[in-house]
Amino acid sequence: MFTRRSSISGLMANMDLVEILNAFGTSVFAITGAIAAAKKDMDIFGIMLVAFLVGNGGGTIRDLLLNKDVFWVHQPMIMVVTIIPALLAVILFHFVQPPKRILLYADAIGLGVFTVIGAQVALQFGCHPVNASIMGMITGVGGGILRDLLCNQIPLIMRSQIYASSAFLGAFSFLILSKFIPINIAIYIGISVTIATRLAGIHYKLNLPKFKILEKD
């Protein structure tokens, strides 16, 4: 009986952690979307629409691929953690100039959080660990792709230092470690791996190898 209660308590604690991290990642991505939209001179409705789509885009794509109910449809609090932080950020940066690389750093944080959450959700729905890693990567990069497309920019995933590969590495690290250590610790490590590799890519301008196709004259 004690073991069963302990396992249930652990599961509830883990669910709380995931919900907190999901709200945090949603807010961070929403802020990046709002700032990017504001820089494109969109009105307040356009800014909030972009913020919502960026904050929830990756998870929406993941849920549709998993053939499950889209998470935000039944969670009205998602509107709160999306719109309010985005609105406050836009108001603040209307009066104070944002740091030069704030979008890149905030995007790295959101990438790490959403990647691991996406991988965990996919694993719970029966995905193979490798496929769950890919699903985590999609969850992580989806919002950023939407942000850049809506703001008429080439997506970071196509023009930046290691990005999607950071997400895949973080998701895979989480899934492997979760088999050997407490899942909460595995979540933090997976997020840290994603963020650290992404920031290293930004700082040291790291890129994956590129190959050119030879063509005859």
- Give percent of the chain with pLDDT exceeding 90: 64
**Helices of type H across the chain:** 2-39, 44-65, 77-95, 102-124, 129-150, 156-159, 164-177, 183-204
pLDDT tens per residue across span 141-194: 999 899 999 999 888 787 766 899 999 999 999 999 999 999 989 999 999 999
pLDDT at 13 over 90: no
What pLDDT does 217 receive? 65
CA proximity to 109, closest of 203, 205, 17, 198:
198
Mean pLDDT of the chain: 87
Model-level pTM?
Answer: 0.85
Q: What are the domain boundaries of the chain? A: 2-204
Q: Tell me the per-residue pLDDT of 62-90, one tens digit each, with 9 for 90 and over.
A: 999 999 999 899 888 889 999 999 999 99
